Amino acid sequence: MPTILGQNQYGKAENRVVKITRDGDTHHIKDLNVSVALSGDLDDVHLTGSNANCLPTDTTKNTCFAFAKEHGIESAEAYGIALARHFVDSQPSIHRARIRIEEYSWERIAGSDAGSNFIGADEVKHSFVRKGQETRLAQITYSAEGAEGAKFEVLSGLKDLTVMNTTNSEFWGFIKDKYTTLQEDYDRILATSLSTWWRHSWTGETEEGGARPPQWNKSYEQAKKHILQAFVETYSLSLQQTLFQMGSRVINNRSEIDEIRFSAPNKHHFRQDLSAFGLENEAKDGAVYWAADRPYGLIEATILRDGAEQRIPVDMTNL
């Protein structure tokens, strides 16, 4: 047969694992969407249909739920590390496991929305509203191959974090070719829905032979804050510039992060031309804009710690 099998992986995708923790009357929620992808000695499954080396995807699903009970979910990253290690270490035919996780956040109802003449926030023990903002992401890859102790790769990230600067954004001085009709703009809206992954330098499971693992939840919160803060503080001449500022701020402030990649659609807000109706519509006066759907500028970039290896795939953040 003149054809050969290349890269392959399989597993159960989108396991919707929800774990409630009860701390007396006070409850906590972890709400995850977990996808498992396994690789290894799987030629026979493809070539002959023999499943002797195949752990069923249904079993990977069961394991996701059982691990949530047995080990809890301290963070998406810690939970994913435990799962990935389990599949590789317990099955001789599985050499590599990749766990991808989306996490949805919830907040206590009274804390955010109910207000002062309602029940107090400290009395709300088990009532939540989905926060609805960004989705937190994690990807943990664990490989049995390789001679050294560096076996893990942990990416964290987020998507659907939609931000807008209503001023302090310009776009001018660009190339004009035969097909250019765009006018220069000295006061435009800059809005985007961020999708981003960042890579932790930590690659070893334990402190022996490697650094202590990051505090995953704190690291996430800080990375997100630096991204937002850079968005606030950057006077932007291009969305590319804003992305680079975001990435640099994360790399410079978070020593545990070596690489970050952004995919940022430019969510165009076009100033509506109202001159036919005798109306001025200048940005400086507060203007009316049309929020367009398609097409959109799409800006993608990786920012790295000097000397770090570029490892986040280009297609991981494509829209």
Residues with a known catalytic role: 12, 57, 268
User: Which of residues 18 and 144 has its CB atom nearest to a copy of itself in the complex?
Assistant: 18
23, 34, 182, 297, 315 from 192: Cα distances, Å = 39, 26, 20, 10, 19
Tokens of 284: 């400086």
Q: Is 232 in the site for a copy of itself (CB under 8 A)?
A: yes
Q: Is 217 in the site for a copy of itself (CB under 8 A)?
A: no
- State in angstroms the smallest separation of the CB of 207 from a copy of itself: 26
Query: Contact, 8 vs 47, CB < 8 A?
Result: no
Q: Is 297 in the site for a copy of itself (CB under 8 A)?
A: yes
Q: Is 121 in the site for a copy of itself (CB under 8 A)?
A: no
User: Which of residues 9 and 206 has its CB atom nearest to a copy of itself in the complex?
Assistant: 9
Among 66, 74, 149, 212, binds a copy of itself (CB under 8 A): 66
- Choose the binding region for a copy of itself from 14-22, 142-150, 199-207, 208-216 (rule: CB under 8 A): 14-22
Q: How many residues bind a copy of itself (CB under 8 A)?
A: 153
Peptide bond into 295 cis (omega under 30): yes
Q: Is 255 in the site for a copy of itself (CB under 8 A)?
A: no
Rg (CA), the chain: 24
Query: Contact, 135 vs 104, CB < 8 A?
Result: yes
Q: Is 185 in the site for a copy of itself (CB under 8 A)?
A: no
Q: Which of residues 21-50 bind a copy of itself (CB under 8 A)?
A: 21-22, 27, 29, 31, 35, 37, 42, 45-50
71, 78, 291 from 236: Cα distances, Å = 45, 37, 20
Contacts of 229 (CB under 8 A, 6+ apart): 249
Query: Contact, 156 vs 103, CB < 8 A?
Result: no
User: Which of residues 146 and 286 has its CB atom nearest to a copy of itself in the complex?
Assistant: 286
Q: Is 298 in the site for a copy of itself (CB under 8 A)?
A: yes
20, 68, 260, 271 from 314: Cα distances, Å = 36, 31, 11, 33
Q: Which of residues 94-113 bind a copy of itself (CB under 8 A)?
A: 106, 109-110, 113
Q: Is 7 in the site for a copy of itself (CB under 8 A)?
A: yes
Distance of CA 240 to the CA centre of its chain: 19
Q: Which of residues 190-209 bind a copy of itself (CB under 8 A)?
A: none
Q: Which of residues 123-182 bind a copy of itself (CB under 8 A)?
A: 124, 126-134, 160-168, 171-175, 177-182
Q: Is 186 in the site for a copy of itself (CB under 8 A)?
A: no
Among 111, 149, 209, 313, binds a copy of itself (CB under 8 A): 313
Query: Contact, 155 vs 136, CB < 8 A?
Result: no
- State in angstroms the smallest separation of the CB of 150 from a copy of itself: 20
Q: What are phi and psi of 4, to 5 degrees?
A: -125, 160
User: Which of residues 204 and 289 has its CB atom nearest to a copy of itself in the complex?
Assistant: 289
DSSP-derived pairing of the beta strands 257-266 and 152-165: unpaired
Give the Cα separation of 60 and 87 in Å (integer): 8
- State in angstroms the smallest separation of the CB of 193 from a copy of itself: 8
- State in angstroms the smallest separation of the CB of 126 from a copy of itself: 4
